[in-house]
Each structure stands twice: as C-alpha cells, then as structure tokens.
Structure 1
Amino acid sequence: MNFNRLDLNLLVALDALLEEQSITRAGERLHLSQSAMSGALARLRDYFGDELLVSVRRKMVPTPLAELLRPRIRAILLDIQATLETRLDFDPASAKRHFRIIASDYVLAVLGIPAVTKLSKLAPGITCEFLSQYAQPTDLLERGEADFLIMPHPYLSPDHPSRQLFEDDYVCVVWKDNELVGDSLTEAEYLALGHITTRFGNTRRMPSFEEWFVSNGGRARRLEVVTYDFNSAIQLVIGTQRVVTAHRRLADRQARFLPIRLVPLPLPMPRLAEHLQWHQYQDRDPANRWMRDLLASCAERPDG
C-alpha cells in the first residue's frame, strides 16, 4: 500500500534498520535477503532525501534525520498494531494472546506464580514470557517488545499509564542456626553483620533499593556477597552468619521451604510499592485491560 508516494511496507524496513543498524541483521529480523534490505534502504534514502544510515568505522550510524524519525516510526507501527488487535469483545476462555512482562525474580515469585496458575484455569490460550530487568527497562516498552513493566514507580516512564499493584516492606533474613542473631537486632548489630545484597545489569550494575537506602542514609555496611537476583540472595545466608535485607512477601514464601528465620529490620525503611505499566496504545485494548485486572487481583491475593 502506498501513502503519499511511500510504500508503507518500507516503514517496517526502516524501523528494523534503525533498530539493528545493520542491513544483514535487519534482513534476518524481517526474513528478507540482504539484497532486498539494501534495495529497501535505497528507496527510503530516495524518498527522504537523506542517507539515513552511514558507515562510520565499519558500523552503520543513523543520521540526525534518522534519529528524529526513529521514535515517530515506532509510534506509527505500534498504533497500527494496536488498531489491528482491537476487538469489540474479549473472551479469555478462547482468546489467543502472548504477553511479555519485564519483572524482577522477586515479582515473578510473589506475583507471577499465582498469575500463571490463574491463567491456566481462566485463559489457557494466553501465554506469558517473563523478561529479566536491565538498566533501561522502558526501552522495550517503548519499542513494543514488552507489554508490561512491573517495578517501583521511579523506574517507570512518565509517558505511559500505570497503576499500583501492591506494597511490601522489608525484613532481615538469616540462617535458622545463625548464632549471632536472636529474635531481634539493634541497628548497630545489623550494621556489624556481614551482608548479602543484589545488583542488576552486566556492566554498570544498579544497586537494589535496600542497598541504595542504607548507603544514602550515611550508614556503612560490610558487603560480603553480591548476587544478581533476590531469590539467591536469601538462599546464600544458609550455613553462614550473614544477613540479607529482603522483601517480606518473598521472605515469607522462601521460609516455607528453606532453613531461614525472619527478624524485624531495625531501620525505618520506606515501604516498597510495585507498579504495573503498559504502553499508551494498549490502554483500551480489551485483552491488555483484562490481563491488567488479573495481575491486580493476584497482587491483592498472592496465594490465590
């Protein structure tokens, strides 16, 4: 289909080219040959009167015009996708849909497990893919490569709708035979222990909220173990005299299966609020709305 002398299929090609910044990878993404992608790029260059991608040190780099076009082209394609997926009614029992959700392993444990259990009963044709958190999680939402983000509000995008799912607080978790910790801890005793914490990302690793809060309060802890997910942080206290500051919901769940004890946190740490965010183009989509309500119901009743 042509619109204003432009084959609209070229918008899909342009989106892939700007995302991959490689003719070969863009072709693989769209299942097109390298010559076909080269031809598409040539037609796009002719239409816009701009090179769009130029070779710099063996890399394809977007021109200023291409950088300006990139978010606009992605927004157009997402709007088209949302329009094509619009239905007047939605029957979860017969629906076929795949949702991609960015969430931490903590959220996956306390919310994802009851959610997929409920999905199997109410909507067996709806599938889920959970994606791990990384440094800029809103990028996948913006590109339409994720349907939902579940994380604290400061990490969300201001450009898309969201809703709060649940709140949680923090507790100290120790091995059940930890001889240094009784039924309670003073702040001095807490800070004197060896600590386990969680950080995210491969290179510029982001600290967890508890690490950020404690360090910004001017308190010094002895970090002895750093891991990449919340579940392993709790498990790593077993057989040691260390402590981990963990989300209460996750700690309660782990305490059913592991030899650990929960002790009140001696610091006045703010409660954590987990929010759900989705793309503005999906705001009125019945399937997306139904999934949001299901996640919210599981957040209220995490075990059923």
Structure 2
Amino acid sequence: MVSPDFNLLVVLDALLSENSVLRAADTLGLSPSALSRSLARLRLMTGDLLLVRAGRDLVPTPRAIELRARVRAVVEEAQAVLCPGEHIDLHTLKRTFSIRANDGFVETFAAQLLAQLSRTAPHVRLRFAPKHDKHVDALRSGELDLEVGVIGHSGPELRVQALFRDRFIAVVRAGHPLCQGEITAARYASFGHISVSRRGLANGVIDEQLGRAGLEREVMTVVSSFPAALALARDSDLVANIPERQTEKSRGGMFSFPLPVPTTCLTVSQIWHPRFDRDPAHRWLRDCMRRVCAPPDGSAMEPDLCDASQGCH
C-alpha cells in the first residue's frame, strides 16, 4: 500500500481557501504548474474534481465544500503539533479581541470582564460587536474571536463551551398589580406583554405553554433587546419576559417573578473557531470569560467542550 502524501493536505487547504490555482500557488510559494500537478493528484486520490471552472473562476464541488473545514482543522492541528509551545507575557500583550454578544450580556458581565483583564493584561482591549444574527462566517474568517449566547445550529468545526445556565422570568414595574397576590397563569396572561426578538417574532414557547392551558396573552410590542424590554416595562403596565442572570443589573428596582408556565432552561456558551484552540492569549481570554460567568453560588459548570455538530446548546 502506497503511503499518502500528507503535503497534499496543505495544498488542498490552500486551494479550498483561495478557489484559485494562482492564488494558492502564491500563498504556498510554488509555481502554478506545480499546483496544477498537485490538484491532478488530489483529484485522482479523492475521486472528485474538487474545483471546477465556472466562467473565469473556479468553484468547489459539493465534496470539496464538505472537506474544507475538515482539511483546515487537520492542517492547523499538524501545525500546532510541529510548532513549539508559545509563552506570552500578559503584562505586555497588546491585542484587541472581538466578542459578539447581546446587550444584556454586555450590560451584566462586560465591566467585570474588563476589570479582570486589566489586572493581568492592561494593554488588552475588547470590542463588543452587535448581535444582529448568528452567522458563523465572522468566526471562520477571524473577524470575531468569540461568540457568546445560546448556541443553536452552527458550523460543525466550531468549538462550544458552556458558561452558565439561565432561565426566563417575568418582570414588571414597581407597584404593578402583579406585585400583590398569587400570580396565576390567567393573571399573568391578562396583561399586555413585550416580546424580545431580533427577527420581529411576537409569539414563541410561552404562547405554546399558555395555549396548552387554554390561555392566550396579547403581545403589545416587539423589541430587539432585553434592555429595551425592561425600559418599556419600567414605565408601563406591560410584562417583560427576560433571562434572569443576564438582566440582574438592569432590572434593579423592578418586581421579578418566576413564569407561571413551564419553560426550559437556557445554556449560554462561548463559541470559537478551532484555529484559536491553542493560541495562548485566546485560551486566557476564554478562561477569564468562564471565571466571570461562573454562577454566583460558587458552583462551576462542568467544563464541557465539544464541537458544534454534537448538539451543545
């Protein structure tokens, strides 16, 4: 049996990243003819064309798209194995990390995270990016270092680590009628509600649970963030339904209570691209994030770490 030429993995990674023989050749410092010969060998070994002509450009085949993330991960792992471990001096480290998180998370945790970073790495800066969507392209390209939130479907190569569990509660202004007496599902549903949805959705799990009890609430308005929902609830008789831990500071002086209908808990996680797995500065940032988000009772979540294809939420 002929041993595979593992150098071809580096070539394949460059080809799938650039979608161009010329650009891949330039990246690797090889001639276009040498890259073309390597591409021919790769096509023979994989039984697939990998890159095909589309006008003046090359486009990946479905098989190439399937291989792209796996090949990148293998090449990065090999590079990490062959490179010496890097020691960093946090006191002199100068770096800006980009983190995508919702407004509630930033309001609750950002100040504490910045304080912890400044004590050990005074030249590190954080940029919090708005959470307009959950597209993972920015993680793959390196535009983002971390995403923080409830993880749904994402790229199979991405790494996910749980930070804390949260639950939805209801919040009303001080002096609201719901501050007195038993809060039944019927009383809860009788008031106007605020829905929080970046996609503009008015209904969700709460409405499904109320429907099972033969009840229906009226959503009076839809906003895109939890701080906005709290601001509205503070100055009206509307009910805001928000995550408990991520709104601890912003709901001060308001009346909070458990939802009178069953809902599932949320797991808030940090997610990153595997290119940063062994980056010492990035690992330090992730450790700081875990410490800041640890439950206030001192208990720690299991350090579960997996890739996003394994259903970590």
Q: Same fold (TM over 0.5)?
A: yes
Q: Is the counterpart of residue 284 in structure 1 residue 278 in structure 2?
A: yes
Contact 2:209/2:262 (8 A) holds in 1: no
Distance verdict in 2 for CA 1:45–1:216, change over 3 Å: farther
Contact 2:185/2:210 (8 A) holds in 1: no
Contact 1:170/1:245 (8 A) holds in 2: yes
Contact 1:86/1:286 (8 A) holds in 2: no
Matched residue of 2:233: which SS?
coil
Give TM-score scaled by structure 2 length. Answer: 0.67
Q: Which residue of 1 aligns with 2:129?
A: 131
1:140-151 alignment, distance < 5 Å: 140-151=138-149
Distance verdict in 2 for CA 1:158–1:15, change over 3 Å: closer
Instruction: Give the AA of the match of 2:204.
Output: W
Distance verdict in 2 for CA 1:249–1:69, change over 3 Å: closer
Distance 1:199 1:81 in 2: 42
Q: Which residue of 1 aligns with 2:191?
A: 193
Distance 1:86 1:223 in 2: 57
Query: Aligned to 2:103, which of 102, 105, 116?
Result: 105
Instruction: Give the AA of the match of 2:268.
Output: E
Matched residue of 1:240: which SS?
coil
Q: Structure 1: which 5+ residue stretches go unaligned?
A: 1-5, 19-40
Q: Structure 2: which 5+ residue stretches go unaligned?
A: 1-7, 21-31, 41-48, 297-313
Q: Is the counterpart of residue 268 in structure 1 residue 262 in structure 2?
A: yes
Deviation at 1:172, TM superposition (A): 1.3
Query: Aligned to 2:206, which of 182, 199, 214?
Result: 214
Deviation at 1:134, TM superposition (A): 3.9
Q: After superposition, what is the alpha-carbon deviation per residue over 1:57-86, rounded to whole angstroms, capped at 9, x for unaligned?
A: xx9987768856865786689779979997
Instruction: Give the AA of the match of 1:98.
Output: T
Q: Which residue of 2 aligns with 1:231?
A: 227
Q: Which residue of 1 aligns with 2:173?
A: 175
Superposed CA RMSD: 4.4
Matched residue of 1:232: which SS?
helix
Distance verdict in 2 for CA 1:280–1:73, change over 3 Å: closer
Distance 1:62 1:106 in 2: 40
Matched residue of 1:225: which SS?
strand
Query: Aligned to 2:238, which of 210, 232, 242?
Result: 242
Deviation at 1:243, TM superposition (A): 0.3
Distance 1:197 1:121 in 2: 39
Give TM-score scaled by structure 1 length. Answer: 0.69
Deviates more, 1:228-237 or 1:136-145: 136-145
Distance verdict in 2 for CA 1:144–1:94, change over 3 Å: same
Distance 1:273 1:224 in 2: 28
Distance 1:85 1:105 in 2: 39
Distance 1:246 1:85 in 2: 46
Contact 1:86/1:285 (8 A) holds in 2: no
Distance verdict in 2 for CA 1:246–1:226, change over 3 Å: same
Distance verdict in 2 for CA 1:195–1:55, change over 3 Å: farther
Distance 2:58 2:224 in 1: 33
Q: After superposition, what is the alpha-carbon deviation per residue over 1:183-235, rounded to whole angstroms, capped at 9, x for unaligned?
A: 452111111211111112xxxx2759xx5321333533211111111111111
1:70-85 alignment, distance < 5 Å: 71=69
Q: After superposition, what is the alpha-carbon deviation per residue over 1:240-270, rounded to whole angstroms, capped at 9, x for unaligned?
A: 11100112224431133xx532233222222
Query: Aligned to 1:116, which of 114, 117, 120?
Result: 114
1:40-119 alignment, distance < 5 Å: 71=69, 87-119=85-117
Instruction: Give the AA of the match of 2:250.
Output: Q
Q: Which residue of 2 aligns with 1:298?
A: 292
Distance 1:106 1:54 in 2: 47
Matched residue of 1:146: which SS?
coil
